[in-house]
Structure 1
Amino acid sequence: MIYIKNLANIMTIFRIAGTICLCFLEPLTASFFIVYFLCGLSDMLDGFIARKTGNATEMGAMLDSVADFIFLSVMLIIFIPLLPWKLWIAAWIGAIALLRLVSLYIGFVKYHTAAFLHTVLNKAAGFFLFAFPLLYLLAGMEKTAIILCAISSLAAVEELLITIKSDSLNRDIAGYLRQKTADNKNKHDIQGE
C-alpha cells in the first residue's frame, strides 16, 4: 500500500535520475531517445497517477516542478553546444528565462516558496520542449525554435500575470482566464452576502 501511495513520487524521482543519465549518453542516438522517452512518459503519468489514486500532494507537485526544471537545464546543457543557434533564438530563449525568473522571484516574495504553476500553457510548453529533438530532426532549428519559443513565451507571460494578480498560490491553476473567472465569481459571491 505504501508503494501505491508513493508511486507518483517514485516515478518523478526516476525521471530526475533518467534526466541526469541523459548527460552521459550520445545525443540523438537510440539509447538517448529510449531514456528521453521514458523520462517524458513518467512526466505525463506521475501527476495522472497521483490524482487517480488520491495521492496528489503539494510536495509531489513541487517535486514534479523540480524534475521539470532539471530536465530543462539538462536539455540546454546537451543541446546548446550541439546545435546551430542563431542570435535571435538565443535572445528569445534568454527573454523567456528572464520572465520565468521574475515570476519565480515575485512568487517567492509573495508566497515564501517557489511558485511553479501547472497551467495548460505550461503543460503545452513542456510537451513541445519534450518533442524538441523530434521536431528538430523533422523541421530544422528555426521552425522548431519559433514553435517552442512562441508557446513558451505565452506560458511565461501567463504565469507572470497569474503570479502578480493572484492572492494565493494555486499550483494547479488551469490558466489566467480561469483565474479571472474564479476571482470575479468570488467577488460576486462576497457582494451577494
Structure 2
Amino acid sequence: MNKYIPNILSILRVICSVLLILLIDNRIGFVCLYLVIGLTDVLDGFIARRFMVESNLGAKLDSVADFVFYIILFFICVNLYSSIITVSYKIAIIVIIFIRLINLLLTKIKYKKFVFVHTIANKVSGVLLYFLPVVILFKQNDIIIWIIFIVVFIAAIEELSITIKYSEVKLNRISIFCK
C-alpha cells in the first residue's frame, strides 16, 4: 500500500485544487484546503523518497498536480485580487506560463510525451509560488514579488534548456549543470 500513497496524494492535490474554486467565498475553508494542498505536495515526494517508491508515474502526477494548482491559483488570484495584481504581475505570470507551455509542447514533440523535469530550481520556485498569494496580499515590498517571479522565470528557462539540450528524458534531473 505504501507505494501508492504518493500517487494518491498527488491525485488528491489535483482534486483539492479544483475544489479551491468552490471555496473562494469561504475564507476558512479556502485557507484549510490551501494548507492541505501544500502539505500533500511536500508529503508525496517525501514519502516516495523515504520508502523508495519513486516512479515515473509519481513524478508525472506530481508535476500535473503542481501545474493544475498554479493555473487555478492564477485565475483565482486574478479574479479575487484584480486590484492588487498589477498588469506587470499579470504579464510576468503569463510569460512564465507561456514558457512552461512551450516546454510541454516541445517535450511532446521531442520525447513523444509531456514531461516536467524536477530540478532544484523548479522545487524552489514551487515553494515560492505557494507563498506568493500571501506575499501579494500583504504586499510590503514589490522587490520580494519580483524576486519570486525571477526565480520562477529562471526555473522555467532552465527546464526548457534541459529539454532542448538532452535527448533522453530524466524527470529528476537536478539542474542543467548536472547530468
Assess same fold via TM > 0.5.
yes
Q: 3-state DSSP class of the match of 2:79?
A: coil
Letter of the 1:100 partner, please give it.
Answer: R
Larger Rg: 1
Q: Identify the residue that residue 128 of structure 2 maps to in structure 1.
A: 128
Q: Does residue 109 of structure 2 align to residue 79 of structure 1?
A: no
Q: Identify the residue that residue 10 of structure 1 maps to in structure 2.
A: 8
Q: Identify the residue that residue 155 of structure 1 maps to in structure 2.
A: 155
Q: Does residue 168 of structure 2 align to residue 168 of structure 1?
A: yes
For the residues of structure 2 that align with 1:73 and 1:55, how far apart are their CA atoms? 28
What's the RMSD between the two structures over aligned residues?
Answer: 1.7
2:38 aligned residue (33, 37, 40) = 40
For the residues of structure 1 that align with 2:38 and 2:59, how far apart are their CA atoms? 16
Structure 2: segments with no counterpart, 5+ residues? none
Please list every run of at least 4 consecutive aligned residues from structure 1 whose deviation after the TM superposition is greater than 4 angstroms. Answer: none
Q: Identify the residue that residue 92 of structure 2 maps to in structure 1.
A: 92
For the structure 1 residues 114 and 140, does the alpha-carbon distance in structure 2 shift closer, same or farther, using more than 3 Å as the test?
farther
Question: Deviations for 1:87-116, whole angstroms, at most 9, x for unmatched residues?
Answer: 222222222122112211111111111110
TM-score norm. by structure 2 comes to: 0.91
For the structure 1 residues 134 and 168, does the alpha-carbon distance in structure 2 shift closer, same or farther, using more than 3 Å as the test?
same
Q: Identify the residue that residue 66 of structure 2 maps to in structure 1.
A: 68
**Percent identical across equivalent pairs?**
32
For the residues of structure 2 that align with 1:97 and 1:15, how far apart are their CA atoms? 20
TM-score norm. by structure 1 comes to: 0.85
Instruction: Count residues with an aligned counterpart.
Output: 177
Letter of the 1:170 partner, please give it.
Answer: K
Structure 1: segments with no counterpart, 5+ residues? 183-193
Q: Identify the residue that residue 190 of structure 1 maps to in structure 2.
A: none
